Chain A
Amino acid sequence: QKEVEQDPGPLSVPEGAIVSLNCTYSNSAFQYFMWYRQYSRKGPELLMYTYSSGNKEDGRFTAQVDKSSKYISLFIRDSQPSDSATYLCAMSAADSSYKLIFGSGTRLLVRP
Chain B
Amino acid sequence: DGGITQSPKYLFRKEGQNVTLSCEQNLNHDAMYWYRQDPGQGLRLIYYSQIVNDFQKGDIAEGYSVSREKKESFPLTVTSAQKNPTAFYLCASSITVTANEKLFFGSGTQLSVL
Interface of A with B (CB < 8 Å)?
A: 2, 4, 6, 8, 32, 34, 36, 41-46, 49, 88, 90, 92, 97-105
A98 to B101, CA, bound (A): 9
Q: Are A92 and B100 in contact (CB under 8 A)?
A: yes
Q: A46-B102, A49-B101 are in contact. Are A8 and B110 (CB under 8 A)?
A: no
Contact A98 B97 (CB under 8 A): yes
The residue in chain A whose Cβ has the minimal distance to the Cβ of B10 is: A41
Q: Give 16 CB contacts A-B under 8 Å.
A: A34-B101, A41-B110, A43-B6, A43-B92, A46-B104, A88-B42, A92-B101, A97-B97, A97-B98, A98-B33, A98-B56, A98-B58, A100-B45, A102-B42, A102-B43, A104-B42
> Which residues from A are CB-within-8-Å of B45?
98-100
Known: A46-B103, A102-B44, A104-B40. 6 other contacts (CB 8 A): A43-B4, A43-B92, A46-B102, A98-B31, A98-B100, A101-B42
For B, the interface residue count at a CB cutoff of 8 angstroms equals 28
Most chain B CB within 10 A, of A2, A34, A44, is at A44
> B42, A103: Cβ atoms under 8 Å?
yes
A97 CB, min distance to chain B CBs, angstroms:
5
